[in-house]
Amino acid sequence: MTAELHPDIAVLEPLLGTWSGTGTGEYPTIDTFGYDETVTFAHVGKPFLAYAQRTSSTDDGRPLHAETGYWRIPQPSLAELILAHPTGLTEVLEGFAAPNMPGGDTLIVDVRSSSISRSASAKEVVASERTFEITGDTMRYTMRMAAVGQPLQHHLSATLTRTA
């Protein structure tokens, strides 16, 4: 028996499922790179979505990044992402999740870090921002960050498609 989606997160329903696609990363301290990505959003009937993300290099398939966490809607239109990274970082990002217009077919999620913690061995990341646009079976996103002495700037962009 499948749990019904909790009404508090109904706005996030377009995210449910598994998504795959490709993206590009860049930052002043690294070489530009391409990546393949798979993201899964699931629920158990509680007021959150469980989130898992994995990327690998388009060059040779080696693993690049992973993160896991939860997406919440604690009040109408307010979005919270709680994420953990295997690199020793945790993030809380807050912003909004809403259709692009009343009755619109595109979900916009725009969040900014309100808290970033790191282990002693993790690289310094002081701010991050993410913007997602979901229309039907297509998800586009960008990610910006301020890290390792660099100001807030573009880091990642990708287009993912919902898989069967």
Bridge partners for 81 per DSSP: 71, 93
Average pLDDT over residues 67-72: 98
Average pLDDT, the chain: 96
For 84, 109, 119, 123, 152, the CA distances from 90, given in Å and listed in that order, are 4, 19, 9, 12, 18
Please report which helix (H) or strand (E) contains residue 158, including its range: strand 153-162
The average pLDDT across 28-34 equals 97
Q: Is residue 65 a known part of a binding site?
A: no
Tokens of 57: 């290099």
Average pLDDT over residues 20-47: 98
> What pLDDT does 102 receive?
73
What three-state secondary structure class fits 21?
Answer: strand
CATH annotation of 7-138: 2.40.128.20
Q: Confirm or deny that 29 is annotated as ligand binding.
A: yes
Residue 90 in marked binding region: no
Q: In the chain, what percentage of residues exceed pLDDT 90?
A: 93
pTM, full prediction: 0.95
- Which pLDDT belongs to residue 1? 61
